[in-house]
């Protein structure tokens, strides 16, 4: 059992400030206790912020070469322990071993690689005549990260923050904290200077709120639900700190009536079931031509039947969802879909046969869904997909945009010009055409209630930089 009851503050593993409560961390595949953490307090956050503020004075003045060397050292340590990282992610949130290794753990290294490549040529100074435009580190950054892609959302914040010279206080999810602990050990071994990176475990209402409201935290970056993101913004408002948020999604996937239709249905359903549906950018609303609804149902059912959940340490394609609370929420929404008249094509309520222990959900497909149904409006965050029919592309685009969210959208067509035309009309931070793979240099973030700000690639650097104009700087010089 993992006993992670200390915090990492000012370069050391330290005991909580007071008589902290501990929290058992459950393995969602077995429902057994896998470890425990301490739940921090506002005092613990204050200690971490003070360390980060002190460290900022020197770390913010480090050179590009020094920060490149540090990131390369972190990447080297991460590479050594990537197998351990994958195992920790499987244990804490149930990702199948294949997914934990090839995607969940791998993307942590990917974000480190990306930050290194961007840092090599990023222009921190830009001369305009005799004025110098300088981009300088924003200061102490508070990071509040979720459980669904735990190391992805830590690495995509920490790597660019370090690259730009910021210091950090991290609160990972208390539901899935093992990967964050391992990440912290990696940074320590890589020689991150004291106080530059700090870890305080705890819950949102206590540690998350303390980070968001702390007057010496200069920016807060949050990934999670829209409901929690609103609370973070409220807590941050009195100190007028910068707030970046990557929140919920209900992404449309518009399939055109062409020869690639069957493959597009299969690909779209599989994308939703990946990571047990626990991805904020999952294409959970599939729009198909009304005349091809029956074909879509047949393909979707066959795809769902092939995604049987099972032991994540075995060969299962899909593991459990993260917790009993999440399982119960998903069950309620599946039942809501049935009650509101959607056609249940595959899956349904209850646990899959033979999987009575563990938070397993049946891969579920609804067809003939209308865009006013609850399952088409609310983020389910489970392996549940809704198929909606359309009579015209204009209507598909209109209904695709008819959501409070705008994180991602998808278009599938063998006619690339038509796909591009539709993509340009969808109001989302990312539009994926014909199942294109992930691009870590592409900005990631949302429109509307899916958040504000952008992560990944060079756009991520901008979130951690202030802009200073030094007027009358002198004779024009080459940009750095």
Q: How far apart are CA 183 and CA 14, in angstroms?
A: 17
Q: How far apart are CA 132 and CA 218, in angstroms?
A: 23
Quick check: 403 and 377 in contact, CB under 8 A? yes
Does the annotation mark 43 as catalytic? no
Catalytic residue among 280, 379, 455, 463: 280
- Please, what's the b/e burial string for 351-378 (b: 16 or more CB within 10 A of its CB; e: otherwise)? bbeebeebbbbbbbbbbbbebebbbbeb
Q: How far apart are CA 449 and CA 461, in angstroms?
A: 22
Catalytic residue among 77, 246, 379, 399: 246
Q: How far apart are CA 162 and CA 397, in angstroms?
A: 40
- Please, what's the b/e burial string for 238-260 (b: 16 or more CB within 10 A of its CB; e: otherwise)? eeebbbbbbbbbbbbbbbbeeeb
Q: How far apart are CA 235 and CA 216, in angstroms?
A: 13
Cα-based distances in Å from 151 to 57, 101, 180, 258, 268: 28, 12, 7, 38, 25
Q: Which two tokens stand for residue 408?
A: 């991602």
Q: Which two tokens stand for residue 453?
A: 């700000």
Q: How far apart are CA 429 and CA 296, in angstroms?
A: 27
Quick check: 139 and 164 in contact, CB under 8 A? no
Does the annotation mark 280 as catalytic? yes
Catalytic residues: 246, 280
């Amino acid at each position: 059992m993992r006993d992670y009851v200390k915090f990492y503050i000012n370069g050391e593993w330290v005991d909580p400030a007071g008589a902290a409560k501990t929290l058992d961390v459950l393995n969602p595949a077995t429902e057994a206790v896998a470890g425990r953490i301490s739940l921090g307090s506002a005092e613990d956050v204050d200690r971490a912020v003070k360390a980060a503020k002190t460290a900022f004075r020197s770390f913010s003045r480090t050179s590009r070469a020094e920060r490149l060397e540090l990131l390369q050292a972190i990447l080297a340590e991460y590479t050594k322990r990537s197998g351990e990282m994958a195992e920790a992610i499987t244990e804490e949130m149930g990702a199948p071993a294949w997914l934990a290794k090839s995607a969940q753990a791998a993307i942590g290294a990917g974000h480190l690689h990306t930050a290194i490549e961007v840092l090599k040529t990023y222009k921190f100074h830009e001369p305009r005549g005799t004025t110098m435009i300088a981009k300088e580190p924003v200061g102490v950054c508070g990071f509040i990260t979720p459980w669904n892609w735990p190391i992805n959302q830590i690495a995509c914040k920490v790597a660019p923050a370090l690259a730009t010279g910021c210091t950090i206080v991290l609160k990972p999810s208390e539901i899935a904290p093992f990967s964050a602990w391992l990440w912290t050990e990696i940074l320590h071994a890589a020689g991150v200077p004291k106080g530059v990176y700090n870890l305080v475990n705890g819950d949102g209402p206590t540690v998350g709120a303390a980070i968001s409201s702390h007057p010496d935290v200069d920016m807060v970056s949050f990934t999670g639900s829209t409901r929690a993101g609103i609370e973070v913004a409220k807590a941050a408002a009195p100190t007028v700190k910068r707030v970046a948020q990557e929140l919920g999604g209900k992404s449309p996937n518009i399939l055109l009536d062409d020869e690639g239709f069957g493959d597009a249905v299969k690909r779209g359903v599989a994308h939703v079931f990946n990571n047990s549906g626990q991805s904020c950018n999952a294409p959970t609303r599939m729009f198909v031509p009304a005349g091809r609804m029956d074909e879509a149902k047949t393909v979707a059912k066959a795809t769902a039947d092939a995604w049987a959940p099972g032991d994540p340490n075995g060969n299962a394609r899909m593991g459990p969802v993260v917790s009993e609370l999440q399982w119960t929420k998903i069950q309620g929404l599946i039942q809501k879909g049935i009650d509101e008249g959607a056609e249940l094509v595959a899956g349904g309520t209850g646990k899959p046969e033979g999987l009575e222990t563990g938070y397993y959900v049946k891969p579920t497909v609804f067809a003939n869904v209308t865009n006013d149904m609850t399952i088409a409006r609310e983020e389910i965050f489970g392996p549940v997909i809704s198929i909606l029919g359309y009579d015209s592309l204009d209507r598909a685009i209109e209904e695709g945009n008819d959501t409070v969210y705008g994180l991602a959208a998808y278009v599938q067509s063998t006619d690339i010009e038509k796909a591009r035309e539709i993509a340009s009309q969808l109001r989302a931070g990312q539009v994926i055409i014909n199942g294109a793979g992930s691009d870590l240099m592409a900005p990631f973030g949302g429109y509307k209630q899916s958040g504000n700000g952008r992560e990944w690639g060079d756009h991520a650097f901008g979130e951690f930089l202030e802009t200073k104009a030094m007027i009358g700087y002198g004779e024009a010089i080459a940009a750095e």
